Structure formats: C-alpha cells, structure tokens
Amino acid sequence: MNERPAPDADPVHAAWLPPSVFRALGSRRVRVDGEGPLADTVRAEVAAACARFGGVAQPTSAPDLLLTVAAGAAGSEGFLLGRRDGATVVLADGPAGLLPGLFEVVRRGEAAFDPALADERHQPAFRLRVLDHWDNVFVHPVMGQVERGYAGGSIFWQGGRLRADLSRVRDYARLLAASGINAITVNNVNVGEGETHLLTDRLGDVAAIASAVRPYGIRVHVSVNFAAPVILGDLPTADPLDPAVRRWWASTTDRVFATIPDFGGYLVKADSEGQPGPFTYGRTHADGANMLAAALAPHGAPVRWRAFVYNHRQDWRDRTTDRARAAHDHFAALDGRFADNVILQVKHGPIDFQTREPVSPVLLAMPHTHLAVELQVTQEYTGQQRHICYLPPMWSGVLGFRPTGDTSPTLATRLTAGPSGADSGSVSGRTPAGVLSAVANVGDDRFWTGHPLAQANLYAVGRLGWAPGRDPAAILDEWISLTFPEAPPRLRHTLHTLMDDSWLTYEQYTAPLGVGFMVRPGHHYGPDVDGYEYTPWGTYHFADRDGIGVDRTVATGTGFTGQYPPPWSERYESLSTCPDELLLFFHHVPYTHLLHSGTTVIQHIYDTHFAGAQRVAEMRPEWDSVAGLVDPATHARVAERLAEQHRSAEEWRDQINTYFHRKSGVPDDKGRRIH
Ligand code: GCU
C-alpha cells in the first residue's frame, strides 16, 4: 500500500547538497588540519570541491579557509567561525566539530569569506539529534517495508536483507551531517521476530550500516524487542528482575559493542500497541528500562524508552478512560526512579502526532528524568507527503513552549539542561542531555521523501536540534538557497508562499480546533469523521446534534487538564482562556459556542474548510507559474502531488462540512453550497 515502484533510472536527487553549493569554498585555498576519520572526511569533501571549482586543497601556506581542531574535547561538535590573519577559520572543539564547521561554511557561500565576518560560536543545543526509521527488515504484510513510509522502500533493507549497495546510505549520512543530525535508528519501534535478530546473528548488518555512516559522524541505534531473550529462544522469561535475563542483556550488549564500538544505544517501545514489556511480569517501566540501562552503562550508552503507553483496547462506551492521560498516568510517578542513562522519549503531544495537539504534560513533569521529545517528520497525519505541510512552525511551538508561563525558560531550554541535579547533564560520559528525536520520512524514492518539498522537513529537524529558537521561515529560506541554488527571487517567493503557512492550511481543511483524527482507519489518509469514533483506540470527538469535543477538564471531564502545571492547568481548564485552536481537545461545547475569534464553532468549521480548500486550489497555478525555474522532474513531481492535495482538500472540505451541517442543522451564514 505504501510501496512505490522501484526508483527509475534517474539519478537520486541531490537534496540540499547539489555540487554548486560548494562553489565558494571549492574555488579557494582550503586547508584542513586534524587527525582521524572525521578530519579525513572533511579533507575529502574539500578535495572534491576544489577539484570541481579550481581551488587548492591543502595549500602549504596562506589558506583562504582553515579548518582545524583548536581544543581537545573529542566528542564535542562545537566550533568557532571567524577570521584570523586574513583567512576564514573554523576552530573546532574536537574532530567532531570539523564537519559541522565545514557545512556552516558551505551554507554561507561567499558570505563565509567576508573580511568583516565577526567571530561566532556554534554549538548544538541538543546533544543527540536522532532520526528513528520505522523501517522493517522483513516486509510487513500491512505496513510494507517502511511503517508509515511515504517515500518508497527502505534505504537500508530490502525484502529481508541488508541492501548490497550502501552507497545511498552513505549519501544519506552526508545529507544528515549537513543538516545537523548525528544518529539514526535503523529499524522500526515495532520490532518483529525477524528484526529481533539484529541484536545477535544479524548484528553484522547493523555494523555494515554503522561503517557506511560513521565517516559523517552519524551513530547507529537499534530498536530492541523487550522479549528478545524469549523470542530468540534463549530463555523462558524476559522478566527484567530475573538474573538470567539481566545477564543475557549484558552479554548480548557486550557483543554489540565488541562489534560496533561506537554503537549509539537502544530504543524501546514496550507495553504499547501489542509490543511486549515489563507489565507481563508485573514489573514497572522503571524496572524494564533500568535493566537495559544496566547492560548499556559499562559502554556509556543510553536506552531511549518510549512513553507512548496507553490502552489500545478501550471500550468506546467508557468515558472515564482518556488516552491523553495515559503517558503521564504511567510515567510521572516514576520520576527519580530511572537510571542515569535512561532517556524517556515522549511524543510531543499527548495523543499521537495529530495536526494540532497541546504539548505533552509528561514533558513538563519529571524533573529528575532525562527526557527526549519525539517529533514525526514522516507525515502520517499531516498529508502523507502528498500534501505540502512544512512542519517546523508546529515544532517551534513545541520547543518554544513555556512550561510554567510566559516568562519561564522554553521547553527546549529545559530539555537541553537535563534533569535537575544531574552533573552538567551528562551521565556515564556519553549519555546526552538534550535529545531531539524524530521519526524519519525517507525512502528509496529518487527525491528521498516522495514529495520533493518534504525534504525541507527533514532538513529542518537537524537545524532545530542545533538552534531550537530559529525562525522556521529562516530555516526554509536556507533550505531554498541550498536546494535551488540558482533560485531567482520569484521562485524563492513562491516557495515561501506555498510552504510557510502550509501547516495552517492543512489544519484548516482537516479535523477542526484540535479535536484530531477523523482520518480513515488503518492507513490514516483522507477524511472519515466517524472512522475511529466507535473503535477501541481512544480517539474520539463525541460529536452529536448539540455539540462536539472532548471534556478533559478537572471540573466535569477526564481531569487531563490537571496534569499540567499552572498556569496551563487553569488556562486549559477554563473556556474563557483555552486557546481557540485547542478548544475541542479540552472541551465539549455546543456548535453555537462563540470562539475568541468572534465566530461560532460551527461557522468556524465551515469558514476554515472553505478557505483551506480554496487556498490549495490557488497553490496549483502558483506552482505552475514557476515551471521554467525548477528542473522539470522536480516540477512535475510537485505538480502531480498538488493535484492530489487539491482533490483531497476538497474531499475533506465536503465531508467535514456536510457531516457537521447534517449533525447540527445550523446553516452556513454565508449560504455556500454544503452537500
Ligand atoms: C502510531 C502509528 C503507528 C506507530 C505508533 C508508535 O500509532 O500509527 O504506526 O507504531 O504510532 O509511535 O509507536
């Protein structure tokens, strides 16, 4: 279902590293000092650029650009960019800082050689910036090779085997390094029986991927199956407190590190949507996570343990169970009980990557726990890479959220500081404080991401990982400059017009006011208002003839608002202060309820759905008008996707408007046609 035909003979798209972005650097005299494989990679990049553009690599004197290690911290990726003795310099804190320094120079082009360039210090805010691939080694009968993948097959796996040719994986690592990512997880969080073997007899495959990405400073993580000792047939139990189980994980992990000394760590989805976990043995998630942490601790590596734990077999008649509450209910009380190298990985919203959700209250709790925020780059609920949906404005809202009110430090600041009381946020040497994780959107499609413009989402994650406060429009601008290096102002303008607000446009024509879902069950594409309404998944909107929304208040609802600290608990609890865009996430209201915007809920539904679909209709001629300014294959692919987005947006508009018109009986006050 989500497989596309094998890539055709056309070359793989260069994404944000077409050769010409190296022109400024490659036409100069560039010296790279430093030892080791990362310095070698930088030297090779420079040599290739100079060969192409006529510069001199490794001149013995008077370089225009010098990249060198100036301090001693091997693991640090920071660097200083500035001018010394008439040359531009990248003074890296350690070898790991040379590559990010090189790509900073690449991004700037000629501006990097401005004699007036003032010293700038660059350091990643999040120390681990990881893309989690939901790639299956063995093709899943429903999910295919990549779960929630919209860009073809896996770049790692094909029909049960590691791909023989990993050159594309190496190219991918290069792109990721240039965007700021420093780790990947090579298999799906839903770990099938076959994938469980990656830890043991298929470890060689993981090692091969690690070798392909290592030159670009990317480390490899693996999703593990909590029941691995049982599945692999070695033990009768996976009880985390059983000494034999603990020994199994310790020795298995030792073998992993003997094979891959710079292995990144484990990722675990436990007791979630059918995956095994500690609950089977009457143990807590702290017991489960700490067992894996103990196996990893001697190697200084972390386990990322997902907080996505909820009852997916809920009775829809039962109004007391609230899926939004689940993660906080399960985990908040465990604060302080996780080992230092456990990172609790939390989806950014309390439900599941919907177009609009509040920030998960788990991210605002648990001061004594390492927390990672998980974003979804793959557009499962945001148009599946058929719709243009530039997601950084959403992510910036999460990272810039103020946990305890408008003047408090941002969530990103809190996450990157690590747990209170931890030693400078670093545990066991390599456990990073500050983890930004994101579900990847890449496949073997020649454009990497199916929709060429979805590359911008992939690019932006790494950039936000370095500087979470950056303006999404500025990141987009940077991406345009790299991806369309000759872009005339008209193309740049059109791309901004199409992309800057595309998330808000998508929100306009899909589920209204934060209520979420309303997608077709299973594959999650297109509208189906009641598709999930009477299912066990806990994703309800409760629309009837009088009103819509989920009452999650303390006063009369599920009490979810009480999981927030003040002032958010009060703001969300009260109808008079709850933000319009989240109204139906927190409250059940009559259709005639007046929003802060001055319009009623029902009229808002009609207006936004007409406006959103209308906006998509306008996008098509806008894109057509730049046909001569973009290479034909890219232009054609975007045009084809825009046609589908247009069809789909009108389908959404008509189903949502008709549904609520029939339910409420309230006419559109503008008298437009509702079917
Ligand atoms: C969603 C998604 C699943 C995925 C799950 C997760 O429910 O639809 O495909 O496995 O999230 O994040 O674990």
| CATH number of the CATH domain containing 62 | 3.30.379.10
pLDDT of residue 422: 52
In a domain, 542, yes or no: yes
The letter for the amino acid at 97 is G
How many Å apart are CA 612 and CA 622, to the nearest integer?
Answer: 15
Give, using CA atoms, the residue closest to atom 10 of ligand 1: 190
Of 122, 156, 186, the domain-final residue:
122
Whether pLDDT at 627 is above 80 = yes
The reply to whether 452 and 524 lie within a common domain is no
Q: How far is the CA of 620 from the centre of ligand 1 (A)?
A: 32
The pLDDT tens digits of the residues spanning 22-35 come to 999 999 999 999 99
| Residue 352 appears among annotated catalytic residues | yes
Tokens at 538, concatenated: 């806990």
Do strands 157-158 and 161-162 pair parallel, antiparallel, or not at all (unpaired)? antiparallel
Whether pLDDT at 13 is above 70 = yes
Those residues with Cβ within 8 angstroms of residue 651's Cβ, 6 or more apart along the chain or in another chain:
526, 527
In a domain, 512, yes or no: yes
Active-site residue, from 132, 340, 352, 551: 352
How many Å apart are CA 125 and CA 411, to the nearest integer?
Answer: 12
Q: Considering the chain, what is the average pLDDT of its residues?
A: 95
The residues with which 244 forms a beta bridge, in sequence order, are none
Task: Please state, as a whole number, how many other Cβ atoms lie within 10 Å of the Cβ of residue 542.
Answer: 15
In the DSSP assignment, the letter for residue 406 is T
Q: How far is the CA of 3 from the centre of ligand 1 (A)?
A: 18
The reply to whether 536 and 396 lie within a common domain is no
The reply to whether 145 and 117 lie within a common domain is no
The reply to whether 113 and 146 lie within a common domain is no
Mean pLDDT of 545-571: 98
The reply to whether 186 and 326 lie within a common domain is yes
Whether pLDDT at 2 is above 50 = no
The reply to whether 224 and 317 lie within a common domain is yes
pLDDT of residue 486: 87
The residues with which 590 forms a beta bridge, in sequence order, are 547
Whether pLDDT at 658 is above 60 = yes
Those residues with Cβ within 8 angstroms of residue 87's Cβ, 6 or more apart along the chain or in another chain:
62, 63, 64, 65, 66
The pLDDT tens digits of the residues spanning 300-354 come to 999 999 999 999 999 999 999 999 999 999 999 999 999 999 999 999 999 999 9
Mean pLDDT of 493-510: 98
Of 414, 449, 470, the domain-final residue:
470
Per-residue pLDDT band for 72 (boundaries 50, 70, 90) equals: confident
How many Å apart are CA 366 and CA 418, to the nearest integer?
Answer: 11
In a domain, 532, yes or no: yes
Lowest mean pLDDT among 264-273, 326-335, 426-435, 612-621: 426-435
Look at residues 179, 195, 192, 99 and name the one whose alpha carbon lies nearest to residue 131: 179
The reply to whether 24 and 163 lie within a common domain is no
289-328 burial: b if 16+ Cβ within 10 Å, else e:
bbbbbbbbbebebbbbbbbbbbeeebebeeeeebbbbbbb
Whether pLDDT at 74 is above 60 = yes
Per-residue pLDDT band for 9 (boundaries 50, 70, 90) equals: low
- Which alpha helices (DSSP H) does 338-438 contain, by range? 392-399, 411-417
SS (H, E, C) 375-394: EECCCCCCCCCCCCCCCHHH
The reply to whether 155 and 265 lie within a common domain is yes
Q: Range of 86's domain? A: 19-122
Q: How far is the CA of 647 from the centre of ligand 1 (A)?
A: 26
Domain containing residue 311: CATH number: 3.20.20.80
Tokens 């004594």 sit on residue: 368
Of 101, 122, 143, the domain-final residue:
122
The reply to whether 340 and 192 lie within a common domain is yes
pLDDT of residue 429: 42
Domain containing residue 535: CATH number: 3.90.1330.10
Cα radius of gyration rounded to whole Å, the chain: 25
Mean pLDDT of 218-239: 97
The reply to whether 133 and 102 lie within a common domain is no
The reply to whether 457 and 514 lie within a common domain is no
Report how many domains make up the chain.
Answer: 3
pLDDT of residue 406: 87
Give, using CA atoms, the residue closest to atom 11 of ligand 1: 352
In a domain, 14, yes or no: no
| Residue 380 appears among annotated catalytic residues | yes
The pLDDT tens digits of the residues spanning 458-480 come to 999 999 999 999 999 999 999 99
Mean pLDDT of 411-427: 72
The reply to whether 101 and 81 lie within a common domain is yes
